[in-house]
Amino acid sequence: MPDTPTPHNEAKAGEIAKTVLMPGDPLRAKYIAEHYLQDPVCFNRVRNMLGYTGTYGGKKVSVMGGGMGMPSVGIYTYELYHFYGVEQIIRIGSAGGIADGIHVRDLIAALGACTDSNYAAQYRLPGTFAPTADYGLLSRAVRAAEENGIHPAVGNILSSDVFYGDNPDALSQWKKMGVLAVEMEAAAFYMNAARCGKKALCLLTVSDCPFTGESLSAEERETGFTRMMEIALKLV
């Protein structure tokens, strides 16, 4: 294992658990640590990308922010997988729901992640790579949700490089292919996991619906996704 700390993570070897929950917002990581973990210790403050390790149900678990966009989550997940011995990362993020029947606060389990990003070009593959979740994590998450009366939508999402896009018809084109929602991280994160033989799952709570105008506030996105947090913690 390469030397730690890394350029973006001040944790020392052994300070991060084998399982990491990763919201985009570092303040959501702080919220989870303070409300769900026993004896949480902050292991990273570099660039204010907060990370904590504690226990949940007697098991060691870490939670760390991943930032916005594939370059950001690509850096943090790469370092966790390659430098800190992390075996599985569960992204717990927000998304814009675009499929019919998807509403704010709905839970989505991302089976696959389409993308408009060029992130996969680095692998020099002779074709188009399809980034997918780890099926074991996915099936356990769906089962845990259903045991609590929650029925997540399972399917394809879009990981986009742009938030303010110049093509007003782009989301409609993805919607016609059955894509459930749009976010900005999962495809790169799934590719990193695939490349190093580790596990990855992206769970999303719908924070807005571009076609209907439904939306949640920034505060609701930071502290209101407790159902998703609790399902992710059952996977530790």
Catalytic residues: 208
Q: Which residues pair with 22 in a beta bridge?
A: 91
Q: Residues with Cβ < 8 Å from 153, sequence gap 6 or more?
A: 99, 102, 106, 107, 108, 109, 180
Q: What one-letter code names the amino acid at 222? A: E
- CB distance 19 to 134 below 8 Å: no
- Which of 231, 211, 76 lies closest to 143, judged by CA? 231
Helix axes 135-147, 226-233, angle to 10 degrees: 120
Q: Give the integer Cα–Cα distance in Å for 58 and 27.
A: 24
Token duo for residue 122: 């680095």
